Amino acid sequence: MRMRPTLTWTPTGPPQAPAATSVEAVASVVGEGRVLVLSGAGLSTESGIPDYRGEGGTLRRHTPMTYQDFVGSDEARRRYWARSHLGWRAMTGAHPNSGHHAVTTLARHGYLTGVVTQNVDGLHRAAGTAELVETVELHGSLDRVVCLGCRETTARAELDRRLREANPDFAATATRINPDGDADLPDALVRAFRPVPCAACGGGTLKPDVVFFGENVPRPRVDQCYRLVDGSDAVLVLGSSLTVLSGLRFVRRAAETGTPVLIINQGATRGDTHAAHRVDLPLGHALTELTRLLGL
């Protein structure tokens, strides 16, 4: 039986003060510079990619593939690649929104030490942020594929070409896409789908170069993020509920070392108790206003 990833958490401790609806206090901290951005799925919703845990989050209707299911079952892998083959087409049509571009603007003007993103959509790279500051894709990226046998990494576009050749009659339209690139697909189309093996070694199992639920983020990547936290004077959380430890641990690290935590998110987060300032606003609007207040 597939386990549903954590949807929410139970708040503990005293009630939190209401979140602000102005970014002025956040702007005063960001204006001092040396800020690390930690971004989540809420930053990409305005690009047409839904989040996991928001009011309309996909976890309420969709159980993502887990690492254990993927490596343990041929049928699970067939299901994943059939649905992801469809979802990938929709993901490639997503473009950075005003929130991504605002982060790039902050980086260009020297306010950021780096970006750690929990998203696998590659939109920070598409917005040019990675050309300006150290950018860590904590959970990997859907535009790369890795062989679990020989460990060869290849471009997702190349796999898409091979899958099209192996499935010339595959015809479906994505009606709903999920943050992991998975899309709803009728069972009959899943059963008829033909995955392909690794082209480099001829038989290895291909997996998207992303961290599935139930899989650990590589330790060197975690250490890289801790280094960025320790080298920053503030951490700015954008569009993440911080429900799971994957991102929450960096907020906790900042709080433990006395580094101010700033949160802009629609809805409460698990890191609110650590926040010096928290704002409840749509990310595109909030970050556009933030750059305006900084005169950018």
Backbone φ and ψ of 116, nearest 5°: -115, 120
DSSP assignment of 121-188: S-HHHHTTGGGTSEEEETTEEEEEEEETTT--EEEHHHHHHHHHHH-TT-----S-B-TTS-B---HH
Here the tokens at position 255 are 């709080």
DSSP state of 231: T
Contact of 294 with 108, CB cutoff 8 Å: no
List alpha helices for 210-263, DSSP H. 219-230, 245-256
Q: Which of 100, 124, 139, 277 is catalytic?
A: 139
Whether 139 is catalytic: yes
Can you name the residues that pair with 153 across neighbouring β-strands?
A: 146
The Cα–Cα gap between 249 and 47 comes to 27
Among the listed residues 45, 79, 86, the one whose alpha carbon sits nearest the alpha carbon of residue 64: 79
SS3 state at 112 = strand
**Residues classed as catalytic:** 139
